[in-house]
Amino acid sequence: METSFLEYYKLILAKVSFDNALFNKEYNKALKQLKAHETEKFHQWLESTGYIHNLQPKTSL
């Protein structure tokens, strides 16, 4: 059975949710890899699971 990148990144983010820095690193990798329609589903999943709160806003210097 083939796993989509969407499902792969859901699994990865669930496993690293204990560490916000690692979570954000993997989140950014996912955004680069996922297609537009997958990104929308990905954000819906983040909101439905509450993981959206793990995201740290990017700071600019």
Whether residue 30 lies inside any domain: the answer is yes
Whether residue 60 lies inside any domain: the answer is no
Whether residue 37 lies inside any domain: the answer is yes
Whether residue 59 lies inside any domain: the answer is no
pLDDT, one tens digit per residue, over 45-55 is: 999 999 999 99
Q: What is the value of pTM for the model shown? A: 0.84
Instruction: Report the domain count for the chain.
Output: 1
Contact between residue 52 and residue 46 where contact means Cβ atoms under 8 Å apart:
yes
Whether residue 57 lies inside any domain: the answer is no
pLDDT, one tens digit per residue, over 14-59 is: 999 999 999 999 999 999 999 999 999 999 999 999 999 999 876 5
Domain containing 11: what range? 5-50
Residue 20 three-state SS: helix
| pLDDT classification of 2: cutoffs 50, 70, 90 | low
CA distance 34 to 38: 6
Contact between residue 52 and residue 23 where contact means Cβ atoms under 8 Å apart:
no
Q: 1 or 57, which is more confident?
A: 57
Whether residue 40 lies inside any domain: the answer is yes
Whether residue 44 lies inside any domain: the answer is yes
